Amino acid sequence: MDHIKHQKKNRIINRITEITTEGGLPKTGQMMIYQPGDDGTYQMGYPIGGAQRFIDNGDGTVVDTATGLMWVKDPQASGLGMTMYWYDAINACENLIYAGHDDWRLPNINELMSIVDHSRYNPAFDTMFFIPAPDTWTPYWSSTVCAPWPDGAWCMYPYDGYKTTWGRPWDMCFVRPVRGGRS
């Protein structure tokens, strides 16, 4: 059992390394340098309005070129299109074998919020790349536990991209599996 936990820990560390080194946040567009170390200094990030951010792989998955994450385009097609309790969502994602990959997981709240497009609503993401759940008023689970409320986990409402917490033991939400890094 310790061996499996060690492998899982290493996979998580590798995913974080891949996301932070190969991906990034969108550029702010700031060109002037107001203070050393601000965005104008480094011009880091993903160019807004530049290259296409999401790429449909044609196999039911979508790659986010800004973060390096691969998402399931339509959770219903993967067999995970129903609401479930948080613990079941964690297990369902980790046991998912889809599009030739077996390292799917439930996204953390930052990853989940990274696909939100606040210029859209109902749903608040691009439906060309992300098929919405049948009910946009029921949130998607994240793997992030709410620190001040141990029974809660962070969620995202697909209707407007609002971040909130729901009860892990008793509430049911949708899932959108993700895998880290680039293939």
42-83 confidence digits (pLDDT tens): 444 555 555 678 999 999 999 998 888 999 999 999 999 999
Q: What is the pLDDT of residue 13?
A: 45
> What's the token pair of residue 84?
């479930």
Helix (H/G/I), strand (E/B), else coil: 17: helix
In the chain, what are the domain boundaries? 52-179
Contacts of 93 (CB under 8 A, 6+ apart): 80, 104, 105, 106, 175, 177
CATH code: domain 52-179 is: 3.10.100
| pLDDT 10s digits, 130-152 | 998 888 889 999 999 998 898 99
Q: How far apart are CA 127 and CA 131, in angstroms?
A: 5
What is the rounded average pLDDT for all residues in the chain? 80
